[in-house]
Amino acid sequence: MNGVKEPLSEIIGAVKQVLQKTPPELASDVMDKGILITGGGALLRGIEKLFTKVTGVPCQVADEPLMCVVKGTGIAVENLDAYKRSVLWAKA
């Protein structure tokens, strides 16, 4: 577990930053619906409990966390122009 401690700490820090910057109208949705954890990190046992504890937001792991990443990437590629606009807007 020591090998993942530092990257996990960085991820938690990034999640906290995003939650702090989230507009109130979206933050209430996140608090109500929670966070869905996807990707390879979601395969870490108990990750949803850790994220719930450190963020105060209910978290759960997606049914197929790796497939979510693949599907999301496909959707982003199919809608690349809209994706680029949303990413550029988010950086502003």
Q: What is the pLDDT of residues 33-52, one digit of tens each?
A: 999 999 999 999 999 999 99
Domains of the chain from N-terminus onward = 2-91 (3.30.420.40)
Q: Categorize the per-residue pLDDT at 2 as very low, low, confident or very high, splitting at 50, 70 and 90.
A: low
Surface-to-core class of residue 81, CB atoms within 10 Å of its CB (0-12 exposed, 13-18 middle, 19+ buried): exposed
List the Cα angle 71/14/23 in 5-degree steps: 85
The three-class DSSP label of residue 22 is coil
pLDDT, mean over the chain: 89
Extract the tokens encoding 26: 């979206």
What pLDDT was estimated at residue 17? 92
Q: Is the pLDDT of residue 89 over 80?
A: no
